[in-house]
Amino acid sequence: MPWLSILMAVPVLGAVGVACLPKGSHKPAKQLALLVSLVVLGLTVAMAVQFSPNGQRFQFTETHSWIPAFGVNYGLGVDGIALVLIALSAVLVPIVILASWHDTDGPAPDGRDDAPAPKRSAKTYFALLLVLEAMMIGVFAATDIFLFYVFFEAMLIPMYFMIGSYGGVQRSYAAVKFLLYSLFGGLLMLVAVIALYVVAEKNTFMFPELIGAIQDPTTQKWLFAGFFIAFAVKAPLWPFHTWLPDAAAQAPAGAAVLLVGVLDKVGTYGMLRFCLELFPDASKFFTPLVIVLSVVGIIYGAIVAIGQTDMKRLIAYTSISHFGFIALGVFAMTQNAQAGATLYMVNHGFSTGALFLIAGFLIHRRGSAQIADYGGVQKVAPLLAGAFLIAGLSGLALPGLSSFVSEFMVLIGTYERYAVPAVIGALGVILAAIYILWMYQRMMNGPTADSVKGFTDLNGREKWVVAPLIAAIIALGFFPKPVLDVINPAVDKTLDSAQVLDKQPASTAAEKKGAGQ
């Protein structure tokens, strides 16, 4: 059964169905989009149940000739790393659709009495969401590098229109900046993809067949640079990060969740999948530089987050810090660090997704994203404040919540090889406590602001939005084993392809040596 093709076809057909609804069919458009996204989620669960972590590396594979003259194939397949990221996408999309139920109601926020902005179409917005879901599944499922590049670039289109048409007052500026940065990275990647095809001389873009094809160290370095910069812009890794705060702050809350929770993970996924395995020698050569950039990103993102006055920009800067942790885990090249980095991609999607959505609920009630415009929210909306606190505590890696497990694994795995960067990176945990708890104190504690006294607590729809995310944060904090059981075999095979011989932690290797003696 072509599971992956079906997973992409269903949301595309759903988007066509939503777009074909009669004009003014706002509620049917939302209902149909939600139904389609739930079908995709059900199909993803059915596929995941059949996945064998210890079986073949790539499963549910499909290969069909697409452009025979250039060896381009429609090649799909997933390992454990890609599977958990597809599952993350499938879980977040219906939650985002439900959370975005009223995002298209009314005119654009900068409409004036003398020149009112036109009403925004619910049909278009939810159709774009479904198209974006198909692209996100495709980019993680592609095993042909050219096909991966197509999805890598195609994701930009629906997100650009979601930010540019449905975002805040500065949405046009943020959308164009997002697009220009992404196109710059994509152009570098396209050059590298073509060069890889020419140099490898294999007349194919299929990823498994290109592993080990480039042996010359100098060539590896140039090709690594092209791929890595594209992924660093997408991630975004410091200093390629400056587009993210503007895009996340101006995007609708639901679009911001998918932008930071899924689209940006394509960057770190690409580093783990393509950079390490296609260019292992270059990866080792550039590892010290990448680790320095990662550590700087951890500290820089956290310090700048502390000084933010806009809650959405604050959450965006926390993500820059978290992506530093993920990149650090990827290039530490130990089993613990890479498994932790992959788990971090999933956990970050849930915790940051919850923060953005709850921020959206607050903005919908108050009409402002400024932290200073709130105060004493927990007295009038205790459920909302409680959900915000749990998501925030997960963001600062409190033990018992999901991000702690992945952050701990990254730091321990990094310490096995690079002790000083691990110690410096651990300072990010302390800084995270400052920016999360200080934000919570200013917004949720203290005297109740006059503008907050009329707040309502979470309604039924909002509870359905928040509950799955909070449940995932707690469940993965106490019992991450099912996800790690899927991730670990894929990480082992990645390290093998990257020619990392000493995969095991030093303590484990020493124990085995002693037992042998």
Is residue 511 in a domain? no
- pLDDT of 111 higher than 60: no
Is residue 111 in a domain? no
Helix, strand or coil for residue 109?
Answer: coil
- pLDDT of 112 higher than 80: no
| pLDDT of res. 41 | 94
The position carrying tokens 């820059």 is 320
Question: H-helix or E-strand containing 191?
Answer: helix 171-200
Q: Please check whether residue 337 is in contact with residue 413, taking contact to mean a CB–CB distance below 8 angstroms.
A: yes
Helix, strand or coil for residue 113?
Answer: coil
| pLDDT of res. 504 | 47
More confident of the two residues 5 and 215: 5
Q: What are the tens digits of pLDDT across the range 477-492?
A: 898 989 999 999 988 8
Q: What are the tens digits of pLDDT across the range 264-315?
A: 888 899 998 888 888 888 888 999 999 999 999 999 999 999 988 888 889 9
Report the distance separating Cα 361 and Cα 356, nearest Å. Answer: 9
Question: H-helix or E-strand containing 172?
Answer: helix 171-200
Q: What are phi and psi of 27, to 5 degrees?
A: -65, -45
| pLDDT of res. 294 | 92
Is residue 136 in a domain? yes
Q: Please check whether residue 311 is in contact with residue 439, taking contact to mean a CB–CB distance below 8 angstroms.
A: yes
Which residues share a beta bridge with 64? 74
Neighbour tally for 407: CB within 10 Å: 27
- pLDDT of 102 higher than 80: no
What's the angle, vertex CA 79, arms to CA 78 and CA 85, rounded to 5? 75
Report the distance separating Cα 318 and Cα 321, nearest Å. Answer: 5
Q: What are the tens digits of pLDDT across the range 314-356?
A: 998 998 998 899 999 999 888 899 999 999 999 998 999 999 9
Is residue 513 in a domain? no
Domain containing 240 equals 3-106+119-498
In angstroms, the first-to-last Cα distance of the chain is 50
Q: How many domains does the chain have?
A: 1
| pLDDT of res. 229 | 92
- pLDDT of 509 higher than 50: no
- Amino acid (one-letter) located at 415: Y
Report the distance separating Cα 169 and Cα 369, nearest Å. Answer: 12
Q: What are the tens digits of pLDDT across the range 21-77?
A: 888 778 888 889 999 999 999 999 999 999 998 888 899 999 898 888 888 899 999
Neighbour tally for 380: CB within 10 Å: 17
- pLDDT of 110 higher than 60: no
Say how far residue 63 (Cα) sits from the centre of its chain. Answer: 27
Neighbour tally for 42: CB within 10 Å: 12
Neighbour tally for 483: CB within 10 Å: 23
Q: What are phi and psi of 170, to 5 degrees?
A: -100, 35
DSSP type of residue 70? G
Q: What are the tens digits of pLDDT across the range 138-156?
A: 999 999 999 999 999 999 8
More confident of the two residues 517 and 449: 449
| pLDDT of res. 109 | 60
| pLDDT of res. 113 | 41
Which residues share a beta bridge with 65? 73
Cis amide bond preceding 11, omega within 30: no
| pLDDT of res. 103 | 67
Instruction: Name the percent of the chain lying above pLDDT 70.
Output: 93
Helix, strand or coil for residue 446?
Answer: coil
Tell me what the mean pLDDT of segment 156-176 comes to.
86
Cis amide bond preceding 382, omega within 30: no
Is residue 259 in a domain? yes
The token duo for 412 is: 């321990």
Q: What are the tens digits of pLDDT across the range 412-434?
A: 999 988 899 999 988 988 898 89
Burial class of residue 299, CB neighbours in 10 A (0-12, 13-18, 19+): middle
* Nearest residue to 39 via CA among 7, 86, 84: 7
The CB-side HSE value for 251 (13 A sphere, CA atoms) comes to 33
Q: Please check whether residue 114 is in contact with residue 123, taking contact to mean a CB–CB distance below 8 angstroms.
A: no
| pLDDT of res. 455 | 83
| pLDDT of res. 44 | 94
Q: Tell me what the pLDDT averaged over the chain comes to.
A: 86
The token duo for 354 is: 């919850």
| pLDDT of res. 190 | 92
Is residue 58 in a domain? yes
C-alpha distances in Å from residue 238, one per residue of 81, 244, 301, 440: 24, 11, 8, 26
Say how far residue 28 (Cα) sits from the centre of its chain. Answer: 29
Neighbour tally for 9: CB within 10 Å: 13
The token duo for 120 is: 């925004």
Q: Please check whether residue 497 is in contact with residue 280, taking contact to mean a CB–CB distance below 8 angstroms.
A: yes
Q: Please check whether residue 502 is in contact with residue 509, taking contact to mean a CB–CB distance below 8 angstroms.
A: yes
- pLDDT of 411 higher than 60: yes
Is residue 114 in a domain? no
Is residue 303 in a domain? yes
